[in-house]
Amino acid sequence: MSVERKQSLFIITYAGKETADNVYSTLRGLEKQDKIDIKTAATINRAEDGKLRLKHRRRLTLWKDEFDAGSIGLILAGTGAGNMASAIVGALMGSQGSKHRCEAKAFLDDKLGPDDSALVILVTNTDWEAIQNDVGYTGEELALELSAKAEKQLAEIAADEGVAAAVQEFVETEEVDL
């Protein structure tokens, strides 16, 4: 019996509009030193209308176009993406993560004000505590565990036009080429 490797998705809020961008830049530097394996990441700010503004910072290189900004947006939109999509997403996250999954939107609603920023980052094989020591910023963190299968299914759900339209009511996305 093989064990499916889980990946960690962290949502971290910081005081300051530019802090998440600064943390991301630091993590990219650490990645070049092989201290972290970033699969995908996005920085988030809150728009004037209260909508989340997601800046997708990196695409997966191994599973191109699977877990992208649409998948991240789906997680962040919470139940606003529709009850069916939310129920499926919650089930995909696994027993530990599904409890937290339902709280992702509430977490950001509570912790991400107009002068704050957040980083959403998907990593594997990373000693996150060691990375936190090098980053130098502290923030509020929500961690979720995702299997590769869950990532793929999230991408499929996020690709549905109805789900994508519902997500866009809560999250606007921008792709940033690296």
pLDDT tens figures, 34-52: 888 888 888 999 988 888 8
Q: CA-to-CA distance for 68 and 41, rounded, in angstroms? A: 9
The string of pLDDT tens digits covering residues 6-41 is 677 888 999 999 999 999 988 888 888 888 888 888
Among the residues of the chain, which ranges form H helices?
A: 19-32, 69-77, 83-92, 94-101, 104-111, 128-135, 148-159, 161-168
Domain assignment of residue 162, given as a range: 33-175
Domain presence at residue 16? no
Q: Under a CB-based contact definition with an 8 Å cutoff, are residues 145 and 124 in contact?
A: no
Domain presence at residue 145? yes
Domain presence at residue 1? no
Domain presence at residue 13? no
Structure tokens at 63: 């599973």
- pLDDT recorded at residue 101: 44
The string of pLDDT tens digits covering residues 76-120 is 776 566 665 666 666 555 534 444 444 677 788 888 999 999 998
Domain presence at residue 86? yes
pTM over 0.75: yes
Domain presence at residue 71? yes
Domain presence at residue 46? yes
Q: Per the structure, how many domains does the chain have?
A: 1
For all residues of the chain together, what is the average pLDDT? 75
| Torsion angle in degrees (nearest 10) through CA of 132, 134, 136, 137 | -30
Domain presence at residue 25? no
- pLDDT recorded at residue 136: 75
